[in-house]
Structure 1
């Protein structure tokens, strides 16, 4: 039957979309699936939609309290998973029918690699486009990436790992708490991917299109903000697991994520200390970046937004 795969789908008030998501999983070619629906204390009819599927591979897990970002739900799924591989899918997105078959083929060609990723289509209304990493690399075939490669691409807006496209070898996981539950309401996946590759060392990206992500669906991630402290803690947590040069890259990645978190908070008009951004940065080895954004942080957000709108108009 081939390797077994545990598919983890966190569900919070997705009655309009979860059937489409489940159909895309059940349409996969590999039959040896365990489908873990993790209900994150939904208040709509999501579980009624799930109950319409009469398939013994589907198992429902329940949480009493919703967790922002689905991080706690995914971690619960990891703890309950029994498959050789673990995959994730958001309850409002869907897979291409040949995704798992292609991903397992790539895993078979790279038996020592614990992480397989792939391309993603982002859909905005009727418009579709490849994610930035795929736009850049899909014509060049499979890509083997180490931590340094991933961070260098991610800092240019090209992330080779995305929730809906990953397969992770379960035996390689170092913790059942891959996602930072209780530590942030948003962007915890960005923390998780850097942590994952820092610990597992290598991944392979496959040039097949794995999933469609519907970017016009409003969820928690659109209404909340990332936590600056999470990315500061990431630097300390990974220090024992990476080389000195890799740790410098992790600090640079953390600075970019800290800046991103600060901008998101300012856009929502949250009150922040005047020198909050400079004091949050890791300056060693990144003085120019930290100085530039420290100076920008002193500019009123309304002026920054006006400049941004003018730039886009051109």
Structure 2
């Protein structure tokens, strides 16, 4: 007897893409699933596109107002899920047909592990490439990762989890609201992956390519930004579930995410005072990194951008 999977797809104004995402879910070779479409108060024709699909496995839920990042919509879908596993898919991306089949095969090989992830592909302006973690490990077979492993790789830009590749056992979830709704506009999924591992202790990564994410090469501006405060608070949030060694690695990762959030906020002309960056850093675990970026924050951001452009053109 197969296991029911609940696929959660948040939708906010994705009329040009949502049909592609739904088709990729319905085309899965693993067929025992429910497809939960969560309308995040779309104002375009997204729901008309959804209504064109006549499949008994599709359930449509509605929220009265949109939430940044789709975090509230994902949490709502998870609360309403009936399956033994939760799978996530963004409305503007797509799965490859064997994703769920391969994920459940890996899950059966590692029955004591509650998180399954896989390789991911991106399409940026027509150029396709594997995610950096997959590039390194796709020929090495399944990988079991603990929190420290995940963080060490993530600090190097190699993340083993992504929204379109992850499956989580529903019974193993510590709560239904796993995404940080109300705490950040963007990059809250990066917080969630760390919390899942901190609480569930380990994951298994599968070398199959799960998904393809579509991005336009010309897309550079964003209206939403990550939260420096969220990544600082991540350490105190998770310290009850981790040991001292993991805490040090988590603080180093938090420093990198705080720096990332600071850069993104400055890019949209929402400058942050250097004193705020200083307070969000964990200086005791990486004095050089924190000192370097604090000193950089004292410079005009326009000057930093010009240096970055000059360096990029010279490469």
Instruction: Tell me the TM-score normalized by structure 1.
Output: 0.97
**Counterpart Cα distance in 2 of 1:276 and 1:40:** 33
Q: Residue 36 of structure 1 aligns with which residue? A: 36
Q: Between Structure 1 and Structure 2, how many residues are aligned?
A: 314
The alpha carbon displacement at 1:148 in A equals 0.4
Q: Residue 175 of structure 1 aligns with which residue? A: 175
Q: Residue 222 of structure 1 aligns with which residue? A: 222
Are the structure 2 counterparts of residues 29 and 220 from structure 1 closer, same or farther at C-alpha, using a change threshold of 3 Å? farther
The alpha carbon displacement at 1:303 in A equals 1.3
Q: What per-residue deviation string (whole Å, max 9, x for no partner) do you get for residues 155-198 of structure 1? A: 11110000000010111100111100011000000100111101
Q: Residue 235 of structure 1 aligns with which residue? A: 235
Q: Which moved more, 1:268-277 or 1:155-164?
A: 268-277
Q: SS state of the match for residue 285, structure 2?
A: coil
Q: Is the 8 A contact 2:125 2:217 kept in 1?
A: no
The alpha carbon displacement at 1:97 in A equals 0.4
Q: Is the 8 A contact 2:8 2:36 kept in 1?
A: yes
User: How large is the RMSD of aligned CA atoms in angstroms?
Assistant: 1.5
Q: Residue 91 of structure 2 aligns with which residue? A: 91
**Counterpart Cα distance in 1 of 2:94 and 2:259:** 31
**Counterpart Cα distance in 2 of 1:221 and 1:298:** 24
Q: Which moved more, 1:280-289 or 1:158-167?
A: 280-289
Q: SS state of the match for residue 129, structure 1?
A: strand
**Counterpart Cα distance in 1 of 2:179 and 2:229:** 15
Q: Residue 282 of structure 1 aligns with which residue? A: 282
Q: Residue 70 of structure 2 aligns with which residue? A: 70
Which ranges in structure 1 are unaligned for 5 or more consecutive residues? Answer: none
Q: Is the 8 A contact 1:18 1:91 kept in 2?
A: yes
Are the structure 2 counterparts of residues 34 and 217 from structure 1 closer, same or farther at C-alpha, using a change threshold of 3 Å? farther
Q: Is the 8 A contact 1:5 1:33 kept in 2?
A: yes
Instruction: Tell me the TM-score normalized by structure 2.
Output: 0.97
**Counterpart Cα distance in 2 of 1:108 and 1:101:** 11
Task: For 1:68-147, list aligned pairs within 5 A.
Answer: 68-147=68-147
Task: For 1:204-215, list aligned pairs within 5 A.
Answer: 204-215=204-215
Moved over 4 A (4+): 217-221
Q: Residue 49 of structure 2 aligns with which residue? A: 49
Q: Which moved more, 1:186-195 or 1:271-280?
A: 271-280
**Counterpart Cα distance in 1 of 2:221 and 2:244:** 33
Are the structure 2 counterparts of residues 96 and 257 from structure 1 closer, same or farther at C-alpha, using a change threshold of 3 Å? same
